[in-house]
Chains A and B, each alone.
Chain A
Amino acid sequence: MDGSARERGSLRLSRGTRRRQRLAAAAGQLFLLAVTSLSALAVFAIFYFIARDAIPFFRLEGFKEFFTSTRWYPSAEQAEFGALAIFVGSGLVTLGAALVAVPLGIAAAVCLSDVLPFSARQVVKPVIEMLAAIPSVAYGFFALVVLAPLLQRSGGPVLAAAAWIVGAPVAALLAFILSDLLADRFPERAQRRARWAFLILLGSGAVAALSVAGRALSGLEIPSGTNALNVSLILGIMALPTVVSVSEDALQAAGRELREGSYALGATRAETLLRTILPAARSGILAAVILGIMRAIGETMVVWMASGNASQIPEPWYNLLEPVRTLTATIAGDMGEADHVTGSARYHVLFAMALCLLTVSFLCNLGSEWVLRRTRRKAGG
């Protein structure tokens, strides 16, 4: 204690010393609280200052055009600020990223938490950490300089190969399940033979379907390598670490007892995981998906460099092979020019976009927090 040297000989402190100490402690705590609140205040400051510059836009141009028109000509004489195509672009690449990251991420998380032995896990963890650590601009550079020319030059064969790599295992699995389910309807004696027959039939059907799809894909010509597909792939890879680590935590949290109970009932590992653990960890996995999606929505550099930046709704809307433009890329790209015209609608529209982004990420955050808190309460009670 501070006073101990001075007060040697008696354990009791004088009243003044005690008061001083108590005051110092209170002041110290207040200081800590102030600093902590400062970091919380930052969030409100961000909302305030973004909204402050966003509102003039809506006052100048109204809401309707911004949300419903696809005509984006901010620098034209008769400026038009229809951002619908940009919203669709953001949504499309996020959807594409989710299609890559969610199945892969959950499969990898299951494998990490329940399948791989401890030593293998020690090897895989750094891989995930490295994927998370690589800066987004490096991903963007890869998308622009390596992946885009590859897609443009030989996009068809690459897609066909990807279809085989992903499709073949899935088709084999489906063939197994279906043939078994179908064979169950046959009498006991014929079951084995029926299963083989169905397996061969379904298997060859799947191979035929895959090779037809592969041939169709390899004939595909991609006019530009900087498109929504490219960005979706890269964003998916970037979102993977988040999805994997959060859903692995959720799977771990499901507990040993559930697993042991299921095994005791004679379930295989796959059945245990699919029927017991995954449903139990459902909300944690949902949070993982939300957090992964947030990462994809907010990402700037990759989409700015490799999405093509064309403000148009693809035709049809799910056509990933067309270039798109996203909110983040628009902000990053247009601010350089709009900076000189501070106060114009062209400047404020970028803040309006940032406000939309901020709102979406805030809602996602609240959602994931709510989901996680519910899980924790359930696990606790």
Chain B
Amino acid sequence: MSLPTRKILDRAFSGAGVLAIALMAAALLILLVPMFTRGSQAVFFRATVEHRRFLLEKFERGDRAAIEAEIQAAQAARAPVWRLVADFESRLAEGEAAGRGKYRKPLKELRNELRFLLGPEPGKPRPMLMRDQYGQTRLDMAQLGLERVLRREEWDYSDPTKGGIRILKPRAEDFEGTALAELFPYVEKNFARMLLPRRTVYWGFLTDESFDSHFFGGIWPEILGTFYLTLGTLLLAVPMGLIAAIYLTEYAKETRFLALLRTCINTLAGVPSIVFGLFGLAFFINVAHVSPSKSVLAGSMTLALMILPTVIRASEEAIKAVPRAYKEAALSLGAGRWHTVWNVILPAALPGILTGIVISMGRAAGETAPIIFTAAVSVGKPLAPWQTLTQPTPALSWNIYNLATEHEAVDLVRHVQYGLVLTLVCLVLLLNLLAIFLRARIARKMRN
């Protein structure tokens, strides 16, 4: 090959590497950007008057007089809507049967959509479900509600080669020529007056309980559950991992038995997480009966088993990285083996060990598969510490799955899903940041 070509190929080769890294960074960015932009909207959003009413009635939060005045104003703006509907209905009841049949279904649909947007009709008994007691609390959801009031979704299956095609039909057409037709321009024009949207920072998302299967409130039970699970995991895994690491580095002789031990630990590291979950169910719950059914304790035990190899390896590395001179100095001063380990080697290795622990903490907090059968439920109250021994808990990771796939109205709780994802990702990334910081400190200390 000619020299210029070789040079070009060399550049191209480097370019391919840089392209790979750029793709990787792009993947990270594409992953994180929607999580951060949509996730932060769980806390920072435009709240309607319904949100403030909810906070006032449920938690006594906010300035009562001001909010009640707002509610009054909103009700006043909504009154014409309900009056139009009621008038139309009563006129329909008086009118001939043919008209009743024609308008019954569209009217019922319209009423449902209006209730979805604005909450229950005034003067009717208070509905049972919380989601029926309030209108839309968030402006983005309210806009969706407005869209549903104004337009009806239809599916066109006339072309059999394609799936159904979505068509949006204005509801005003259904009521053309009736008194109700003027409702639609009114709703569209007075949307803001009926809901009074305002920029809000709702930190309660992180500290409030959830109500009515996550339609309202926050994610405190999930945060607390993840905290308990992670803490329990650490309490179980760290002492064991540390002891194993000390034994493997300081005491064990290189025998065949040790090689077997190491192979076992490596195998444990490679076991798929779902198999851990199944083992937790088959052993901790069904055989060992650590708790009558799922519990935080059983989940923590399963997770501890999963992160054990990581803790052992990280601690081993950290202990091995302690300079030999430390150990020799301690031994030459007459310290015994155990004294050397406890007073000299462990303190010196501590930052490294902490780094490993912090990283495995992130793993334990984010892992879902092992807790499906051992610890997680989708809805629950926040637990008191002693309840963790016997009771299951909601957790961030499990509820992301659950809300995104098994919830009854997946599309209506998107903000909660994104909020959960962002909370979990932030938690894990902060832990990793902490690990990076610790590692940097070790590096600095080693240089000095």
- Chain A residues with CB under 8 Å of chain B are 1-2, 4, 21, 25, 28-29, 31-33, 35-46, 49-50, 52-53, 103-105, 107-108, 110-112, 115-116, 124, 126-131, 133-142, 144-146, 169, 172-173, 176-177, 180-181, 183-184, 191, 195, 223, 237, 240, 244, 268-271, 273-274, 291, 294, 297-301, 304-305, 328, 331-332, 335-336, 339, 342, 350-351, 354, 357-358, 361-362, 364-366, 369
Contacts and interface: CB of A to CB of B under 8 A. Distances in A.
B240 A335 contact: no
Given A36-B243, A43-B267, A137 B397 contact: yes
27 contacts: A29-B251, A39-B241, A39-B309, A49-B282, A126-B436, A131-B28, A133-B366, A134-B425, A134-B429, A135-B368, A135-B397, A135-B425, A135-B428, A136-B369, A138-B421, A141-B404, A142-B34, A145-B417, A268-B7, A269-B14, A270-B12, A271-B6, A305-B401, A332-B372, A357-B272, A358-B271, A366-B267
B424 A32 contact: no
A31 B130 CA distance: 57
A270 B264 CA distance: 40
A350 B12 CA distance: 49
B404 A144 contact: yes
A32 B274 contact: no
Interface stretch (B85-93, B117-125, B135-143, B334-342): B334-342
A270 B9 contact: yes
B16 interface: yes
Task: Give the top 10 A-B pairs by smallest Cβ distance, nearest first.
Answer: A135-B366, A111-B17, A298-B272, A270-B13, A40-B264, A107-B20, A32-B247, A268-B10, A300-B369, A365-B270
B253 to A, nearest CB: 11
B17 A115 contact: yes
Given A37-B261, A138-B35, A339-B373, A351 B270 contact: no
Q: Which of A45, A140, A270 has the most CB of B within 10 A?
A: A270
Contacts of B8: 176
Contact of A137 (B13, B16, B312, B366): B366
Interface string B424-448: 1100110110001000000000000
Contacts of B248: 36
A358 B282 CA distance: 15
Contacts of B432: 129-130, 133
Nearest to B403: A141
Given A49-B279, A300-B273, A237 B404 contact: no
A144 B405 contact: yes
A307 B423 CA distance: 25
B282 to A, nearest CB: 5
Contacts of A339: 281, 373
Contacts of B337: 25
B244 interface: yes
B178 interface: no
Given A36-B248, A131-B24, A274 B13 contact: yes
A114 B12 CA distance: 14
B409 interface: no
Given A1-B335, A32-B247, A328 B274 contact: yes
Interface residues of B, number: 96
A291 B248 CA distance: 24
A173 to B, nearest CB: 5
A107 B268 contact: no
Interface in B14-45: 14-21, 23-25, 27-28, 31, 34-35
A362 B267 contact: yes
Nearest to A291: B270
B287 interface: yes
B24 A298 contact: no
B278 A350 contact: yes
Query: Which of A36, A46, A351, A362 counts the most B-chain CB atoms under 10 A from its CB?
Result: A36
B311 to A, nearest CB: 10
A342 B252 CA distance: 43
Contact of B31 (A2, A139, A294): A139
A301 B7 CA distance: 45
Interface of B: 1-2, 5-10, 12-21, 23-25, 27-28, 31, 34-35, 163, 240-241, 243-244, 246-248, 251-252, 260-261, 263-279, 281-283, 286-287, 305, 308-309, 312, 334-339, 359, 362-363, 365-369, 372-373, 397-398, 400-401, 404-405, 414, 417, 421, 424-425, 428-429, 431-432, 436
Contacts of B367: 135-136
A65 B323 CA distance: 59
A115 B251 contact: no
Contacts of A133: 359, 362-363, 366, 428-429, 431-432
Nearest to A221: B162
Contacts of A223: 163
A131 B6 contact: no
Contacts of A21: 336
B417 to A, nearest CB: 7
A42 B302 CA distance: 11
Contacts of A37: 261
B277 to A, nearest CB: 8
A238 to B, nearest CB: 10
Given A32-B243, A142-B31, A1 B20 contact: no
A269 B6 CA distance: 10
Given A108-B21, A173-B9, A294-B270, A39 B308 contact: yes
Contacts of B240: 35, 38-39
Contacts of B287: 49
Contacts of B271: 43, 46, 298, 358, 361
A297 B270 CA distance: 11
B20 A28 contact: no
A139 B400 CA distance: 11
Nearest to A146: B34
Given A108-B21, A137-B401, A335-B278, A180 B270 contact: no
Nearest to B261: A40
Given A135-B368, A298-B272, A107 B373 contact: no
Nearest to A267: B6
A170 B273 CA distance: 37
A369 B359 CA distance: 23
A68 B248 CA distance: 45
A369 B266 CA distance: 9
A335 B372 contact: yes
Given A141-B421, A169-B15, A271-B10, 5 more contacts: A36-B247, A39-B240, A138-B31, A350-B278, A361-B275
B21 A124 contact: yes
